Amino acid sequence: QVQLQESGPGLVKPSETLSLMCTVSGYSIGSGFYWGWIRQPPGKGPEWIGTIYHSGTTSYNPPLKSRFTISMDTSNNQLSLKVGSVTAADTAVYYCARQEGGIFDVWGQGTVVTVSS
């Protein structure tokens, strides 16, 4: 049974770079599927950030593309999300999820990120 677990710093200062990790168990991420990152600001709906394919190719939500970088480490079975020059608008719960095509069928529990000085 595949499981995903996000981890991150919790609190980040404005203008800094945010680094998040997603550890996948029960499936080798390089074997197949797509793997996505989604965020959810307080009181709002989910927002797709981007997806990395098992081949390593990435696809991003156009408004976010310039500051967000998704990568994968198949040896440790982990996904990574980096967000540059964060602002208060990046405050959200960040989720990683397995994708079957465009469908998010397995989600991590999420990690809360607050941007504040």
| Residues of the shown chain interacting with other proteins in the complex, contacts defined by CB under 8 A | 36, 44-48, 51, 59-62, 95, 97, 100-105, 107-110
Rounded-to-integer distance, Cα 105 and Cα 116, Å? 32
Closest distance to other proteins from the beta carbon of 81 (Å): 16
Q: Which of 34, 24, 16 is nearest to 90 (CA)?
A: 16
**Whole-angstrom distance, CA of residue 41 vs CA of residue 108:** 16
Nearer to other proteins, 4 or 72 (CB): 4
Closer residue to other proteins in complex, CB, 43/116: 43
C-alpha span between 14 and 117 (Å, rounded): 6
Nearer to other proteins, 59 or 78 (CB): 59
Smallest separation, CB 117 to other proteins (Å): 27
